Amino acid sequence: MTEPLTIERVLEIGLGHLRFNPVFLYAMTIDEFVLAVRGFHDLNEIREQHHWERTRWLATVLLSPHTKKNQRLKPTDVAVFPWEQKEKKTTVDGEQLLRQLMK
């Protein structure tokens, strides 16, 4: 459940998280504010992903001397992150779907 967007919350996010100048914040429309928050969230998510990928790379480098000879350790052998997993494409057979619905 998301909390309601009150003026206090807008000020907290705009002044505290986004570090907007109060004059700039008060001049924004709500649509502009929402877009700024989304952009800020996306930027933080990208930064977090880079931190995790750097940590995984470091773990790979540290584990490499302990692997078997002639075996190369890849970062994806250490961990696969949710944003790297391929989406499974499902195909729907209309005839088969109708048969299942008719049962």
* Residue written as token pair 């002639």: 70
pTM of the model: 0.68
- Sequence-ordered list of residues with C-beta below 8 angstroms from that of 10, at least 6 positions apart, any chain: 25, 33
How large is the average pLDDT for residues 65-84? 92
pLDDT in tens, 4-14: 888 999 999 99
Q: Where are the domains of the chain?
A: 7-83
